[in-house]
Amino acid sequence: MLELQLSGDPEQVRKLVQHNDRRVAELRRQLLADYFFIAFYWLTFIGLSVAIARRGGFVNEAVGLLAAFAASITALLDAIENLRTRGMLALTRPSDQVRRQPVVHLRRTALTKWGASAVTLAILAVLFLRGDGRVVWLGVAFLVVAALGALGLFWNRLIVPYFLGFFALGAVLAVTLTFFAAGVMERL
């Protein structure tokens, strides 16, 4: 999927989507699954944004609002990226022309989404960095993954490790907030 979304080269996109019906069908399934992933991470980010804002005070409320805004922009860009990707996946016939402008727009949207997600993680790190004990390490992990995402904008090969870190943070949050919610909330 990343190869298609970050290509920027119409000829490479044409090779990916034409004469490869199984691959296109698999990519379409991945896009459908991605909408569920978008909903889950957006809701998680909004919940963390609310947790920041509920600390009270102007600064916390402003940071919480900024985090919610960044999370919403990330999710919106992800949905736009999926729609543009779907447009590329519709060009399966040999007579279909893969033009440069839509391919470049897809790449720009994808990179902007990855950048927005890195910014969102960096803002959300505030929630954990102001805690104590092991919770601070979760904030540090958010910042490290966010930095990896920012670097991925310049060195696209880092986007896969960034995505894996993003996914791992989600898994850690899910386990932590499911089984140790009371302890975590006390330390925030």
**Domain layout of the chain by residue ranges:** 2-187
Separation between Cα atoms, residue 152 and residue 146, nearest integer Å: 10
Which sign does the torsion angle of CA 53, 54, 58, 60 carry? Answer: negative
Count other C-beta atoms under 10 Å from residue 170's C-beta. Answer: 15
pLDDT number for residue 106 = 96
Question: pLDDT tens, 77-89?
Answer: 999 999 999 999 9
Q: Which is more confident, 63 or 181?
A: 63
Cα angle value 85/171/2 (rounded, 5°): 20
pLDDT number for residue 26 = 93
Separation between Cα atoms, residue 130 and residue 56, nearest integer Å: 13
- Angle at which helix 159-179 crosses helix 21-53, to 10 degrees, equals 50
For the segment 86-98, the average pLDDT, to the nearest whole number, is 89
Whether the per-residue pLDDT at 164 is higher than 80: the answer is yes
For the segment 87-113, the average pLDDT, to the nearest whole number, is 92
**pTM, whole model, 2 decimals?**
0.90
Phi-psi region of 143 (alpha: psi -120 to 50; beta: other; left: phi over 0): alpha
